[in-house]
Chains A and B, each alone.
Chain A
């Protein structure tokens, strides 16, 4: 009996061809809209209409970027097709950085502290509290958003940064669960020597456990950064004042501010491109890590 192992060498491998074809197509489809964003952002609103079907902007200009960053006067912006009462994107970028930064730092730190206690320290009701934390992962956002909105309103924190970061800055059940899993996997011997030397639990946590956990902390940090940078619903509910708009809210508001007729596409796309840049940098600088983190987020 002969087992046929290899196909004749010269034959064209259709399956490989289709695999490459599919991958190439998907990548082109992924990049194309982003290219159109940039192209539109670089077009002047007057040449935009004739150049809709062209691949390159007909007369490249940086005016739209200057406009959305508030570097031109309201009258000039109006002339360029803007709404005149344009959203301040520079402020929105700052707000997004503060909003995301505070949450990533706070949530990671406080969740790590709690996760360490759940993994290593004994205290009353430890396991019950942890189970309660876990069960909260099932509650859909909308169920919590409505009562949380009322809490923030009663605190007088509407339209403030503290109102926007409050629900996220101290913990998420996922962050605690994820870090606890990792801390459980650290062998106890690593901490025992320090314990014998009389180090406090916080020093052990701070000087030994955290430095050992850079990988999981980075994974969590990346997932939180992406999630919060793109979060819309909550900042939209709480931050109705232009001074606290984050980028997604600013973009949405900029679109709805459009005077009658067609939206200010060139300005909008300039704003859109600005909000892509940080994500793009994250991907270029930490590509592998980002991919691994995302693959993990969907794993078990």
Chain B
């Protein structure tokens, strides 16, 4: 919606005690602090980032312009492709389970319990920082002392290495994030369920639809806008995973969890290859734009579902 077309300005806003000029000055003053913040920390860094990505720069001497060299290097860098592949695997492990769990939990809550306390308990993990959650699971999943391995042994099962195993580290990181997000995802779906008019369900009931039919033919299709939104935003979020990796594995063991943002961070702040790191962050940006566009497309198409 174009804001200028919203509602015509009532005459008092223009004539009484206040000229158009005064209003413009006031408006600009009101916007000024936010505008300064925007220019300094959004607009300027975005443009500067683009510029840095075309340079070779280690922050010690002046940057030298190298054109598309960084980008060419990105596409030839095996470690970049590996990082992208690991990120992709992480998203694939993470999102379907998280979304499915969220829907199931939301439907379960919608059926049997509407309590705020229960919803509060379920989102508690989401309120904790990634750092804290990573530390807690490092402790729980510690190969020698952790309570999970103690439990496995008590059940006569073999100990697991979790974060320190090349095979298990990435699924473990994904599991930790599912743990943190499942309740929150359920909360979003639950809010979506509340927006479906009860009359739709009553009509289905009168028509003799079974629980199963109601779920597949009514609930799920009507949840589609929420599902698209939740799935796309959590994919965009998952592509940027950093904290858990930085705390729990440092990208290891043997690069098994070296996701894209961690690799970018390493290049920028450990190897001081600012141009290269920025170029990779621009590639990530391009990938995320694709998901954003997909979301916009699906969202618009779905807006009429409930109307």
One of A57-65, A135-143, A213-221 contacting the partner:
A135-143
Which residue of the partner chain A has the closest CB to B7? A188
Knowing A111-B34, A170-B34 touch, does A122 contact B191 (C-beta < 8 A)? Answer: no
A residues 115-170 near B (Cβ < 8 Å) are 116-119, 121-124, 126-127, 129-130, 132-133, 136, 138-144, 146-151, 153, 166-167, 169-170
Q: How far is the CA of A36 from the CA of B132 in the complex (A)?
A: 13
User: Do B41 and A143 touch across chains, with their CB atoms under 8 A apart?
Assistant: no
Q: A5-B205, A126-B27, A140-B281 are in contact. Are A148 and B136 (CB under 8 A)?
A: no
Size of the B side of the interface (Cβ < 8 Å), in residues, is 116
In contact, A150 and B31 (Cβ under 8 angstroms): no
Q: Which of B21-80 contact A (CB under 8 A)?
A: 23-28, 30-31, 33-38, 40-46, 48-49, 52, 59
Q: In the bound complex, do residue B37 and residue A169 qualify as a contact, i.e. CB atoms below 8 Å apart?
A: yes
| Chain B, range 132-187, C-beta contacts under 8 Å to A | 132, 135-140, 142, 144-147, 150-151, 154, 179, 182-184, 186-187
* Interchain CB contact under 8 A, A272 and B136: yes
Q: How far is the CB of B232 from chain A (nearest CB, A)?
A: 11
Cβ-defined contact, A143 with B26, below 8 A:
no
Instruction: Tell me if A176 is interfacial: C-beta within 8 Å of chain B.
Output: yes
Given contacts A188-B10, A251-B131, contact A295 B188 (CB under 8 A): yes
Q: Which residues of A contact B (CB under 8 A)?
A: 3-5, 15-16, 18-20, 22-23, 26-27, 29-31, 33-34, 36-37, 40, 48-49, 52-53, 110-111, 113-114, 116-119, 121-124, 126-127, 129-130, 132-133, 136, 138-144, 146-151, 153, 166-167, 169-171, 173, 176, 184, 188, 192, 195-196, 198, 200-202, 205, 226, 229-233, 236-237, 247-249, 251-252, 255, 262-263, 265, 268-269, 272, 275-276, 279-280, 282-283, 287-288, 290-291, 294-295, 298-300
Closest 5 CB pairs between A and B? A170-B37, A123-B27, A230-B129, A121-B27, A114-B34
